[in-house]
């Protein structure tokens, strides 16, 4: 549960522009369990957000979709904590 809270914090900072995706990945809390699909998706989405900076610069709609994907993961992580 604490790990999910930390990841919510990290992803929220990326969305706010407070940290870079690279900084976020470097501060990622530990290894993901292979059976935790949501946590794997969070890392994977952030990784692609980091490496696709050049594509976002050329295609604003792609950047919008990527940010929305991160927002959706943050929402799903928050919902998982409320259970």
Q: pLDDT tens, 17-31?
A: 999 999 999 999 876
Element (H, E) at 10: helix 2-16
- CA distances from residue 16 to 19, 33, 53, 74 in whole angstroms, order as listed: 8, 27, 16, 13
Structural domain for 29, as ranges: 2-82
Residues 77, 15, 64, 43, CA torsion sign: negative
| pLDDT of res. 34 | 58
CA distance 71 to 75: 6
What is the pTM for the complete model shown?
0.89
């Amino acid at each position: 549960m604490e790990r999910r809270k930390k990841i919510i914090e990290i992803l929220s900072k990326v969305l706010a522009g407070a940290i870079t995706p690279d900084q976020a990945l470097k501060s990622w809390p530990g290894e993901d369990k292979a059976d935790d699909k949501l946590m794997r998706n969070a890392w994977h989405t952030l990784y692609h957000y980091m490496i696709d900076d050049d594509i976002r610069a050329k295609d604003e709609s792609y950047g919008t979709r990527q940010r929305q994907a991160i927002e959706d993961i943050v929402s799903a992580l928050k919902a998982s904590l409320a259970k």
